Copies of this chain bind each other. A is one copy, B any other.
Amino acid sequence: MTYGADGWTALSDPTRRAIFERLADGPRAVGELARGLPVSRPAVSQHLKVLKDAGLVSDRPVGNRRVYQLNPEGLGALRAYLDRFWTLSLDAFKQAAEQSNKEVS
């Protein structure tokens, strides 16, 4: 149930976000991803492991290669977390604005 690495730790790295965004265009193999990135292929493999542990991507073997794609599961968890604090932040913002008005008046 609980993933080894949370989604924010996974997406905090710019290189991992670049991989993540590239996978949004469609499934890609490891070497194909590494070819367009300024890091080595093993580095991409390590990043993909982190993204996989966070539930953000999933992989499947296709012949000789290993194809990765986005996984809605981890993404949904992040969305749920943000939505939980979204309305709360709006309420706090409104209340702060009202209190600020009271102080001014």
* Chain A interface residues toward B at CB < 8 A: 6, 8-9, 11-12, 17, 20-21, 23-24, 26-27, 58, 60, 69-72, 75-76, 78-79, 82-83, 85-86, 88-90, 92-93, 96, 100
Residue from B23, B78, B92, B100 in contact with A26 in the complex, judged by beta carbons closer than 8 Å: B92
Q: 29 A-B contacts, Cβ less than 8 Å apart?
A: A6-B12, A8-B8, A8-B11, A8-B12, A8-B17, A9-B12, A12-B12, A24-B85, A24-B89, A24-B92, A27-B96, A60-B96, A60-B100, A69-B96, A70-B85, A70-B88, A70-B89, A70-B93, A71-B89, A71-B93, A72-B86, A72-B90, A72-B93, A75-B82, A75-B85, A78-B82, A79-B79, A79-B82, A82-B82
